[in-house]
Amino acid sequence: MFFKIPDWLRYELREQWARLSARLQPARRWINQNPTIIIVITAASVLLLLTIIIWMWPEKPIQEVEISDKAWFYDLNTGELFVGRDDQLPPIEAPSGPLPTGGPAGVKAYVFSYVDEPNESERFIGFLEILTAKAKKERPDSIKTGSSGAEQWGQGRLIRRVNDKNWVPANSYQGRLILERVFLPNKYGESARYCPPE
């Protein structure tokens, strides 16, 4: 059985609605005469609401990039990668011992991949690096002020690909060609990304 509204309450509600409609009649007339103002007020209200929503939207936490204190090195005797401290200036001692000429066999290796989390087979050595004796002795004072970042990085550095025989200055034409080849996109248009050791 449904609840029935008493007659006196129905009458009272009808009376209140009639009074409210009479009071709103001038406002309705004004709205009908000024639709542009209503559209502007509505648009401003929507814009304000969107601004508040965007401002209060929870921000994603900023992920801190961990700077590794490790670096890849390449053993010239064995052709194997090994991990060393990033602050070591190449050439350094390698696990296999010195070169046949008596010098250190560990050179810095720049390892890259085209995937985000590569396994060993998905990584490749882009180039190897050593410092000249003078640069190794004078680092970091050997960096001239006023030169660009690329020029600073190339000063006193010799690089080569794994299969090359000769070292070339990193800021020479041949050095720039080696670097450009590393960063050329692969057949899928992907760029190589540096893979720090874990």
Q: What is the pLDDT of residues 69-106, one digit of tens each?
A: 899 999 999 999 999 998 899 999 999 999 999 999 99
Q: The tokens of 75 are what?
A: 């053993």
Calculate mean pLDDT across residues 159-171. Answer: 92
Instruction: Check pLDDT > 80 for residue 41.
Output: yes
Angle at Cα 180 formed by Cα 114 and Cα 197, nearest 5°? 45
Q: Which H/E stretch holds residue 72?
A: strand 70-75
Give strand ranges (E) for 77-189.
80-85, 106-113, 123-131, 157-160, 168-169
In the three-class reduction of DSSP (H, G, I as helix; E, B as strand; rest coil), residue 145 is classed as coil
In the chain, where the domains are located: 70-194
Closest to 139 in 3D by CA, of 105, 168, 108, 100: 108
This prediction's pTM: 0.62
